[in-house]
A and B are shown apart, each in its own frame.
Chain A
Amino acid sequence: MAQSPLTAADMEKNLHIWLETEFTYFKVEQLATELAQLAREEQDFILGWIRRIASTHITLAWQFGRRAPALLPHMELRLLEAWALHTCDIFDRSGLQNALRVMEQVDSFDAVQHQNDSAGALFDEIAPVLGNFVCGLSGRRLALEEGDAAWTDGERIVLPPLVAALPDQDDNFQLAKITVALLWAQTRFGTLRIDPVAVTADYSDPERALKHLYALEILRLSARIARELPGLHRQMQRLRSLLDAPLSSAWQAFAAQLAAQDATPDDSLALLSAAYAEAECPHLSGQGCLRPDAIAAARATRLDKEKARLRIKLAELLEEHQVAQSESKPAAETTPEFEITTKDENGQLDFEITLDDAPIAPPDGVKQLLTSIYLDFGDIPPEYLTPAGEGEYDASQVFDQPEDPDAVWQGTYHEKGAELYPEWDHGRQHYRKNWCVMREKTVTPAYDDFYRETLGKYAGVVKHLRKKFEALRDENRLDKRQTQGDEIDLDALIEALADARDGSEMSDRLFQRMHRAERNIAVAFLVDMSGSTKGWINEAEREALILLCEALELLGDRYAIYGFSGTTRKRCELFRIKTFDDAYDDEVKARISGIRPQEYTRMGFALRHMTKLLNQVDAKTRVLVTLSDGRPDDYFDVYRGAYGVEDTRMALLEAVRTGIHPFCITLDRDARDYLPHMYGAARYVILDDVRQLPVKVTDIYRRITT
């Protein structure tokens, strides 16, 4: 039985608290009365979202509450939810004003126009599939992005947040797929090579000319798709018959001409003046729109860069080739010449490179460059084929350079070159997308006596550790009395034969086998470098790391050490102390010694980044050990308190989900009650005496990896 609805008074109480009416003076009474009319599930839904949005911003939550009851009758819960989340995302990205604007858009919500929304294909739901789909089609790699409408600039395909032209969910997905295919075809089959400004300049109404040209191109591309992707074309025809008016006879004639096997953009241009004279211009479903400015901008930045890249790559190929040749025969008098033959058949682009008539296998990167250039010009221009001379290009201008993590801070802060990580907002019960701006930095090494002093101080411990860890080294051993094995276990056999004589049962465990141990562990240590570790804790951490390294070197486990710290979500920093590939050398030792307390304890991004790094390492077992001094905390930020605890908990859960074993070591004098919850997914240990740390950590490591 359904629960009885809440009364206005019940709800008012909560609304007062969530919307902090004491300060905001929102009139929640009216809202509560309105909500009281609804069924219990609907009340719960709206109240839940008001509470969740209020954790992000109270005004947004209030605006949501004011609108939601009216929207409920003609808007699916799924869409209402998507709308709420979208507003929160906009708030995260560009602030309250923009979020309120999105919130207001819903006022113009026209029920008739949106009658199919409930069956609509949401971008977030279809993007993973269609992103891979477009990747599988040939040509330049195109990225899929969400935007205001469907269009492409030749490097990315933009789709609207919702495709909802039809009452059937699968049909809407198919329509989105057709849109993607048509936009892909514009890059692949030459539409984007047309210069729209030049070709429409002579018309009295260039805009109208452009619209007609685009329609012609869509007809040409549809015919092309019919040949390349017949299955997709069948779907396209079916949906068009449902959605679009049939083409007029004039346009049908155009379509027939453009369906020729060898039709090119030039054929569309040739028909343009005739098409321009036609009063109507067909608008086919899923055709998207043309954005000449975006196309021109993307093309302008791409052309020079790719020319330079190709010429540099060719110079490299030439050099390789000459090194290989110079051993066998003297260098040729003339400069060698590259020739490239393009094969565009069977839906696949392929290139053959010959150098002085001798074929060369082009590396993958070169093939992709050639594909991209071919799509821009329709062939490979000859001036692209002269290898770059020495010093002709500045590599730093041509290739993407890693950003200097400190340089970005000298100007206003921005997110250039940083990695973005989501963060779990427990109030919203959803992730804040691209929330943490993370950069990897290196610890400044301190070449001092710390390493030697530590070894001296713990001489006894080190000796003891060595012994213990050596015993741990899983060495080859002979397993006796096995049912299967390489050799006969003679002792077992003699015993078994005696048993058989004796009349008792004969064992079948007669073999011995060499057990070859393969310890295949990768471990990442994540060390708290927040300001609160200053003093004793920092020193203990560094000592612990030295002892750990000594022990791990003995075991041969692959390991990495990173430190984390941060000030607000805009400045999350991860300090490289030792990567998986670094050897344990003097520099690493100096870096351990150079670990200094930095700023605050924001942990989620660090866990997420380490999870990513660990998953790139090839190992049977992956362990993530964190070493921290307690509660997550960040400067003047919500991270303090429950938010940080929940985010850390979520990041650990994410790590576990990818198959990593997290283990947390906490230095805390009074073991707080939030720890079991925060470390829910991970195993953990609390050390109350800092001085124990160096000795304990190695011991803990030994226990958790055996």
Chain B
Amino acid sequence: MNARTLDPAHHLIEKEPYYEAVGDEIQLFEAAYRQQIPVLLKGPTGCGKTRFMEHMAWRLKRPLITVSCHDDLTASDLVGRYLVKGGETVWVDGPLTRAVRCGGICYLDEIVEARKDTMVVIHPLADDRRNLPMEKLGQVVEAPPEFCMAISYNPGYQSVLKDLKQSTRQRFVALEFDYPSAALERRIVATESGVSDSIADNLVRFAQMTRNLKGSGLEEGASTRLLVHAGKLIADGVNPVSACKAAVAQAVTDDADMLKAIQELSSSIF
């Protein structure tokens, strides 16, 4: 373990991350933060949830500790564990404990993917107790007022088995995210990737076409993130049709017919 990971200063975001507000989500988040209410971000992949968190961390000047949850993530991965070091055991804090100790923002991405036992440590932190019981150390860490917890989940594609339980979701203030409106999305793509407005416009049109395909062969349409990828490639001199193929079509599907259809859509636009 090096010292860097334990140093909250390194999780501070110095430069303003680019974020375009869609509605009043910034104001809502700030109010929730002041009132010490945890926040739940809902929305499809690549619509700006993580970027929003970075932006808010910068705005509130708190360190941001992000944990991407996966189906093997256990409570000890979050809280911490004993490790063996030269014949002795040493306790190492997990990311959640670190965030609580330094009063940072802990963002648990795709929370439903985590194992059920993680809820045990999240629940007391997410209600008015605001503490983190550390069973193995026999301690309870009280969260300072600056601490904030945010979780995200995508109601769209997860299986019914992995739905968020009511007892969990009802502890949070929920902010819903969706693809931004066409005009806003155009601005985001242009700013993030550096392409001209007209190319950004065409990319957004293309994205809407792929979103029309959702449910008839595509699980999810192209996200804003993919458009930014495509835009960056185009700005770097790649031909738009190839950029759309590499950054969007190949990213959303493996099906040969669908790939070709998406290709035809992009070549119709550019």
Contact = CB atoms under 8 A, between A and B. Distances in A.
Given A135-B216, A487-B82, A618-B161, A231 B89 contact: no
A130 interface: yes
B87 interface: yes
B168 interface: no
Contacts of B268: 177, 181, 229, 231-232
Nearest to B183: A346
Nearest to A501: B87
A516 B161 contact: no
B121 to A, nearest CB: 13
Q: Is the interface on chain B under 10, 10 to 19, 20 to 34, or 35 or more residues?
A: 35 or more
B258 interface: yes
A137 B217 CA distance: 14
A141 B84 CA distance: 62
Contacts of A131: 261
Interface string A224-264: 00000111100100000000000000000000000000000
Interface in B113-169: 115, 136, 159-161
Contact of A136 (B74, B182, B241, B262): B262
A345 to B, nearest CB: 7
A359 interface: no
A129 to B, nearest CB: 4
Contacts, number: 89
B11 interface: no
A618 B160 CA distance: 8
B138 to A, nearest CB: 14
A130 to B, nearest CB: 7
A103 to B, nearest CB: 31
B223 interface: no
A136 B213 contact: yes
B208 A132 contact: no
B203 to A, nearest CB: 12
Interface string A116-139: 000000000000111111011110
Interface in A467-516: 486-488, 493, 497, 500, 510, 514, 516
Contacts of A235: 267
Given A230-B269, A500-B87, A618-B161, A346 B182 contact: yes
Contacts of B89: 488, 493
B84 A510 contact: yes
Contact of B159 (A130, A229, A618): A618
Interface string B72-90: 0011110001111001010
A138 B270 contact: no
Given A135-B216, A487-B81, A510-B84, A230 B209 contact: no
Q: Residue among B81, B136, B159, B266 with the most chain A CB within 10 A?
A: B81
B209 A493 contact: no
B201 interface: yes
A45 B217 CA distance: 37
Given A229-B269, A618-B160, A488 B204 contact: no
Contact of A132 (B75, B182, B261): B261
A177 B264 contact: yes
Interface string B47-66: 00000000000000000000
Interface in A110-168: 128-133, 135-138, 141
Contacts of B136: 487
A136 B270 CA distance: 15
A378 interface: no
B196 to A, nearest CB: 15
A347 interface: yes
A105 interface: no
A230 B270 contact: yes
B210 interface: yes
Contacts of B209: 136-138
Contacts of B201: 346
A462 to B, nearest CB: 29
A301 interface: no
A129 B182 contact: no
B76 A136 contact: no
Contacts of B208: 138, 346-348
A495 to B, nearest CB: 12
Given A345-B182, A500-B87, A133 B74 contact: no
A136 B210 contact: yes
B100 to A, nearest CB: 19
A563 B53 CA distance: 53
Interface string B234-270: 0000000100000000000000011011101111111
A346 B204 contact: yes
A375 B261 CA distance: 24
B261 A130 contact: yes
A137 B212 contact: yes
B82 A136 contact: no
Contacts of A136: 209-210, 212-213, 261-262, 265
Contacts of B81: 486-487
A230 B266 CA distance: 10
A510 B161 CA distance: 33
Given A177-B264, A231-B267, A231-B268, A487 B216 contact: no
B225 interface: no
A235 B264 CA distance: 11
Given A136-B209, A138-B208, A232-B268, A497 B257 contact: no
A138 B84 contact: no
Contacts of B161: 618
B84 A132 contact: no
A500 B74 CA distance: 31
A364 to B, nearest CB: 8
A231 B212 CA distance: 19
A137 B208 CA distance: 9
A132 B257 contact: yes
Interface in B209-226: 209-210, 212-213, 216-217
B76 A486 contact: yes
Nearest to B215: A364
A366 to B, nearest CB: 15
A235 B266 CA distance: 13
A231 B209 CA distance: 15
A132 B213 contact: yes
Contacts of B262: 132, 136
Interface string B178-222: 000010000000000000000001001100111011001100000
A59 to B, nearest CB: 36
A231 B83 CA distance: 60
Interface in A320-360: 345-348
Contacts of B241: 231
Contacts of A497: 87
B74 to A, nearest CB: 6
Nearest to B160: A618
Contacts of A488: 82-84, 89
Nearest to B115: A516
A130 B209 CA distance: 13
A348 B262 CA distance: 17
5 contacts: A132-B258, A136-B265, A231-B241, A348-B182, A488-B82
Top 4 nearest A-B pairs (CB, nearest first) are A132-B261, A232-B268, A128-B257, A136-B209
Interface of B: 74-77, 81-84, 87, 89, 115, 136, 159-161, 182, 201, 204-205, 208-210, 212-213, 216-217, 241, 257-258, 260-262, 264-270
Given A136-B210, A346-B182, 14 more contacts: A129-B261, A132-B217, A137-B212, A138-B209, A138-B212, A231-B267, A348-B182, A486-B81, A488-B82, A488-B83, A510-B84, A514-B74, A516-B115, A618-B161
